[in-house]
Structure 1
Amino acid sequence: MRLGTRWSFGAEPPASVPNDLRPRIAAAEAAHPGDGDGRHWTLTWLEGRPIVELDDGTVVSDTIIDVQDADEDW
């Protein structure tokens, strides 16, 4: 079992955050400059895969899912 963790938007991710997710987290933060005051990231593990979610619903895993993007077609 792996434990998750939380950290502040804009802060260095904890050591438990996989290295391949770090550039994706940085890209998600860069897409929302100034929007992160008081927000936090949460790392959880789903079936052995890391999932990082921002308080606003932005999810970083193999890809970034931005809930602010209104151009998504379903």
Structure 2
Amino acid sequence: MQLGTRWRFGETPPGRLSAAVVSALAVAERDAAHNATEAAGYVWTLTWLEGHAVCELDECTRVVQRADGSVGIESITDQNDFVGECPEDDWLIP
């Protein structure tokens, strides 16, 4: 995993992201904008996992570029009982 960058909700995403990822980010922001006051304080975090973009919006949404090039939008809070805990990381905790 390689850390990319961070940018505020509503700002232009980094130029090195594919058009498909940028489009998915716009959809995710439109969906998250239901609470404009709270969303205004959100920050996107871009990381690269095996060369594929993973963008996380504070505690609510993840936009993932998969190995086959497809892009998905996931709700982080729907997948986890505890925000910030990922089921894929269960092996890290004995």
Runs of 4+ aligned structure 1 residues displaced above 4 Å come to none
Name the aligned partner's letter for residue 58 of structure 1.
T
Name the aligned partner's letter for residue 32 of structure 2.
H
Q: For the residues of structure 2 that align with 1:37 and 1:2, how far apart are their CA atoms?
A: 26
The TM-score with structure 2 as length reference comes to: 0.64
| CA RMSD, Structure 1 to Structure 2 (Å) | 2.3
Name the aligned partner's letter for residue 4 of structure 2.
G
Name the aligned partner's letter for residue 72 of structure 2.
T
Gaps of 5+ in 2: 65-70, 80-94
Match of 2:61 among 58, 63, 69: 58
Flag the structure with more relative contact order, 1 or 2, with Cα contacts below 8 A and sequence separation at least 6: 1
SS in 2 for 1:63: strand
| Aligned match of 1:31 | 31
Aligned length: 70
Which has more radius of gyration? 2
Q: For the residues of structure 2 that align with 1:68 and 1:27, how far apart are their CA atoms?
A: 17
Alpha-carbon displacement from aligned partner over 1:6-56 (angstroms, at most 9, x marks no partner): 000011112133322001000001002114121100110011111000112
Name the aligned partner's letter for residue 13 of structure 1.
P
**Same amino acid, percent of matched pairs:** 41
The TM-score with structure 1 as length reference comes to: 0.78
Q: For the residues of structure 1 that align with 2:59 and 2:46, how far apart are their CA atoms?
A: 14
Identify, as 1 or 2, the structure richer in helix: 2
